[in-house]
Amino acid sequence: MNAINDDLKRTVFLRRLGAQSVQAEVRELLDASGLGDRLQGVSQVFLKPNLVSDVPEYIAAGCNTDIHVIEGVLTYLADFGLKAIIGESEVGTRLKGRRLEKALEYMGIYDLQKRYDFEIVNLTQAPQIDVEIPGALALKSVKLSTPLLDSDLIINLPKLKTHKYAVITCSLKNMFGAIPDPMRIRYHYTLARVLADINSLFDEKMFIALDAIVAMEGQGPTYGTPVQMNLLLAAHDPAAADVVAARLMGFEPTEVPHLKCFLQSFSDVGGDDIEVVGAQVADLARDFKPATRNLYVKFESWMCHHPMIIKVIFSDTFRRYVARPLHPLLSRLRGGSFTWYDDK
pLDDT digits (tens, 9 = 90+) for 100-111: 999 999 999 999
Mean pLDDT across 247-257: 97
pLDDT at 344: 46
Supply the pLDDT for residue 338: 73
For residues 215-224, average pLDDT: 95
Residue 266 has pLDDT above 50, yes or no: yes
> Is the backbone peptide bond immediately before 221 cis, with ω within 30 degrees of 0?
yes
Q: Which of 7-11, 37-41, 293-297 has the lowest mean pLDDT?
A: 293-297
Task: Tell me what pLDDT residue 99 has.
Answer: 92
More confident residue, 339 or 29: 29
User: Phi and psi for 48 in degrees, rounded to 5?
Assistant: -115, 90
DSSP 233: E
* Residue 330 pLDDT grade (very low, low, confident, very high; cuts 50, 70, 90): confident
Higher pLDDT residue, 239 or 95? 239
Q: Are 32 and 13 in contact (CB under 8 A)?
A: yes
Determine the 3-state secondary structure of 63 from DSSP.
coil
Mean pLDDT of the chain, nearest integer: 93
| pLDDT for 343 beyond 60 | no
pLDDT at 133: 98
Pairing of strands 118-122, 83-88: parallel
Q: Which CATH class for the 6-293 domain?
A: alpha beta
Q: Closest by alpha carbon to 178, among 51, 2, 83, 267?
A: 51
Flag whether pLDDT at 332 surpasses 80. no
Residue 323 has pLDDT above 90, yes or no: no
What's residue 128's pLDDT? 98
Domain boundaries, the chain: 6-293
Do the bridges between strand 96-98 and strand 118-122 make them parallel or antiparallel, or are there none, so unpaired?
Answer: unpaired
Average pLDDT over residues 1-8: 75
pTM of the model: 0.95
